[in-house]
Structure 1
Amino acid sequence: MKKFVRVTLLSSILSFSASSHALSESEAEDIADLTAVFVFLKNDCGYQNLPNSQIRRALVFFAQQNQWDLSNYDSFNMKAMGEESYRDLSGIAVPVEKKCKALSRDSLSLLAYVK
């Protein structure tokens, strides 16, 4: 009976861990990149009125749509990753107006889903 309980417990633990996928490095980078896009829109494109709470909801919505587990989000240095993404985005040799237009077209619609 003890052996049966152990096997059952072990299999349930393994099945739980198999279905739980923590946020990977590349997924964290994607979230940092999207955060940098919103920061760029706010700082460089005239969208200063975008509420931070709505941006946070959009980031969570984005992660949920991709079925990402955010339980280990705090294990990444998201501030540093976001700052690096922002520097990369700012350094792209495209006029700011073109960047703003493309980023707003491709990203602001995400905010509409989380109003």
Structure 2
Amino acid sequence: MMKSIKILLLAGLLGFSSTSFALSESEAEDLADLTAVFVYLKNDCGYQDLPDAQIRKALVFFAQQNRWDLSNYSNYNMKVLGEESYKDLSGIAITNDKKCKSLARDSLSLLAYVK
């Protein structure tokens, strides 16, 4: 009886610990922001040849480097978060040329890690 109680307690603790490491809302937003940067580069900056598969690998690599657990990724509406991030990015009041150069400089190197 005591052994089964200990097993149940251990299982409960493991359940709590695994959820505490799941992707947080702010991490999901950061991932959506990075996705929006790549979409912006493709749609608005002339980088339409960036392979989608390589972008996905870069996003996963970014999450892994930050030690994010993506097991609950599907709990977030990433499409909506990404669209909001893209809208925010599009609304930044600097010239498109400056914006594209800055985004490319700061994010395209991530793609080199996953080639």
TM class, shorter-chain normalised?
A: over 0.9
Structure 2 letter corresponding to 1:77 = N
Instruction: Quote the residue 1:18 is aligned against.
Output: 17
Structure 2 letter corresponding to 1:14 = L
Secondary structure in structure 1 of the residue aligned to 2:79: helix
Q: How does 1:88-107 map to 2 (within 5 A)?
A: 88-107=88-107
CA RMSD, Structure 1 to Structure 2 (Å): 1.3
Instruction: Quote the residue 1:3 is aligned against.
Output: 2
Distance 2:63 2:12 in 1: 25
Distance 2:108 2:56 in 1: 13
TM-score of the pair, normalised by structure 2: 0.92
Instruction: Quote the residue 2:65 is aligned against.
Output: 65
Instruction: Quote the residue 1:48 is aligned against.
Output: 48
**Per-residue deviation at 1:18?**
1.6
**Per-residue deviation at 1:96?**
0.4
Q: Which runs of 5+ in 2 are unaligned?
A: none
**Per-residue deviation at 1:17?**
3.6
Distance 2:7 2:79 in 1: 42
Secondary structure in structure 2 of the residue aligned to 1:61: helix
**Per-residue deviation at 1:40?**
0.3
Structure 2 letter corresponding to 1:49 = D
Q: How many residues were matched structurally?
A: 114
Distance 2:11 2:36 in 1: 40
Structure 1 letter corresponding to 2:13 = L
TM-score of the pair, normalised by structure 1: 0.92
CA-to-aligned-CA distance 1:17-50 (integer Å, 9 cap, x gap): 4255111000000000000000000001000000
Q: Percent identity?
A: 69
**Per-residue deviation at 1:7?**
1.0
Give runs of ≥4 in structure 1 deviating > 2 Å: none
**Per-residue deviation at 1:10?**
1.7
Structure 2 letter corresponding to 1:82 = G
**Per-residue deviation at 1:12?**
4.8
Structure 1 letter corresponding to 2:99 = K
Distance 2:13 2:24 in 1: 19
